[in-house]
Amino acid sequence: MDTPQTQPIMDISTRIAAKYAHALTTGALKLTDTVAQRVTAPGSGIPCVVSFAPSLANKPERPRTSKVTPRPDPFADPCEDLTVLRDLHGDGQYMLLLNKFPVIPEHVLVVTREYRTQTEPLNAADLAAAHSLVSQLDTQTPGSRHVAFYNCGPASGSSQDHKHLQLFRLPAGFVPYQERQLDPQESSIYPPFAHVTVPLPLQPSGDDLASLYNSSLGTACGASTPSANAAKTQETDATTAPGPAPSHNVLLTRTFMTVVPRSAASTTVTDARGRAHVLGVNATGYLGLLLCKSDETYTALCAEPGLIDQALRQCAQPPL
C-alpha cells in the first residue's frame, strides 16, 4: 500500500494553524493551561516532561469496567469549526479534526470516517496516514518535531470509542528516549516495562509500517500468548474489521515506532510521605510526557521522579 499523497493546494501545517486560530476565536476549542517541569526518571533514565493541568481535575475518566455501554460518538458529526479536512487524503478514509480540549496547541486527530472501534489494531492505511502527516508537518515546520500515537483498548488510556490516532508537536528541545535506545553507542536507558522500539526506513509504505507494527506487537505481548498471536496475524486491509487486539499503545515519529502492551489505564503511587497519588497514563506517558490533574501529584512526581518509573511499570507489562 502506497503512502498517501501530500496536500496539493495549501500545505497541511497552514491548514491546521488557520483552523486552530479560528476555533480559538469562536470558542469551539479551549487550550488547557498547564505548568511543566523537566525531570529524569532515575531508574530508567527516561527524560520526562511532567505537566499539571488544573482544569482537568473534573474531567470524567472512562469507567473502570469491562461492560461495554454505548456512548455518544463525538466524531459522528464533527463540529465544522474543529474540522481541518473532512477527507484527509482524498480517499474517503479519514477526517482530520482538532482536539476540542488540547493541552498543546494544534493537537489534531486522524479519525476514520467510517465507524471503527478503538479496540482494533492499526492497519496499513492507518499507519500510512499517520506517518505521512507526521512527515509533512516535520518538513513544513522547520525546527519542530511531531509524534502520532494510538491508545488501543480499555487499558491503554483511550477516552473515545471511535477509532482515531492523535498527533501533536513535541516540546521544544525534547528528545524521546527511543532515539537514545536506537543509538548503538547508548546504554543508559532501562525502561521498566515491556515494549519494542524499531527504526523506520525512509519513506516507508503502509505495508512496511504494518509489517513492523504487527511484528512489534507480537514480540512485545509475548509471541506465545493467544492474544499476541491473534494480533500479529490480523488482516491489515483497511476494508476488513478485525477483532479486538490486546490493550497497547503505539508511538510513531518520522524515524521510529514504539509498541507498549498495557495492563491498566491508571495506577496509584505513594510518595515518601505516604501520600497516595492516582495517575492516568496513555501513550504519551511512554514517550516521557506525563499529565497530572492535581497539584499534589505534580509536585510529588517532580520531587520524586522515581514515582514515574513505578507508574509506567505498573500500567504496562513486565520487561521482556
pLDDT of residue 5 exceeding 80: no
280 Rama class: left (phi>0) / alpha (psi -120 to 50) / beta: beta
Return the pLDDT at 18: 97
| Tally of CB atoms within 10 A around 159 | 14
Return the pLDDT at 243: 73
Average pLDDT of the chain is 89
Return the pLDDT at 148: 98
Q: Which CATH architecture has domain 33-57+108-315?
A: 2-Layer Sandwich (3.30)
Residue 56: C-alpha distances to residues 7, 217, 292 (Å): 35, 31, 8
Residue 95: C-alpha distances to residues 8, 36, 39, 85, 141 (Å): 17, 31, 36, 6, 21
CA distance 41 to 48: 7
What residues contact residue 25 under an 8 Å CB cut-off, 6+ apart?
A: none
Window from 9-13, 224-228, 269-273 with minimum mean pLDDT: 224-228
Give the helix ranges, DSSP H, for the chain: 12-26, 124-140, 177-181, 206-221, 226-232, 295-303, 306-315
In the annotation, is 131 catalytic? no
Q: Quick one: average pLDDT of 220-248?
A: 60
| Choice among 164, 195, 248, 277 that is catalytic | 164
Local structure of residue 244 (DSSP, 8 states): P
pLDDT of residue 223 exceeding 90: no
Q: Quick one: average pLDDT of 118-144?
A: 96
Decide which of 229 and 217 is more confident.
Answer: 217
Annotated binding residues for substrate: 59, 99-100, 151, 157-160, 166, 282-284, 289, 293
CA distance 299 to 292: 9
Determine whether 109 is exposed, middle or buried from the number of CB atoms within 10 Å of its CB (0-12, 13-18, 19+).
Answer: buried
Q: Where are the domains of the chain?
A: 33-57+108-315
pTM exceeds 0.85 = yes
Q: What are phi and psi of 205, to 5 degrees?
A: -80, 170
CA distance 120 to 68: 15
Give the pLDDT confidence of 183-212 residue by residue, as tens digits: 988 778 999 999 999 999 999 999 999 999
Q: Is 252 helix (H, G, I), strand (E, B) or coil?
A: strand
Return the pLDDT at 89: 87
Return the pLDDT at 173: 95
What residues contact residue 131 under an 8 Å CB cut-off, 6+ apart?
A: 3, 148, 200, 204, 209, 252, 254
Q: Quick one: average pLDDT of 155-162?
A: 93
pLDDT of residue 92 exceeding 60: yes
Q: Quick one: average pLDDT of 173-182?
A: 94
pLDDT of residue 8 exceeding 50: no
Give the pLDDT confidence of 45-71 residue by residue, as tens digits: 999 999 999 877 655 555 554 455 567
Return the pLDDT at 222: 81
pLDDT of residue 233 exceeding 60: no
Local structure of residue 33 (DSSP, 8 states): P
Confidence of residue 2 (pLDDT cuts 50, 70, 90): low
Residue holding cell 478485525?
Answer: 242
pLDDT of residue 231 exceeding 50: no
Length reported for the chain = 320
Residue type present at position 133: L
Return the pLDDT at 138: 97
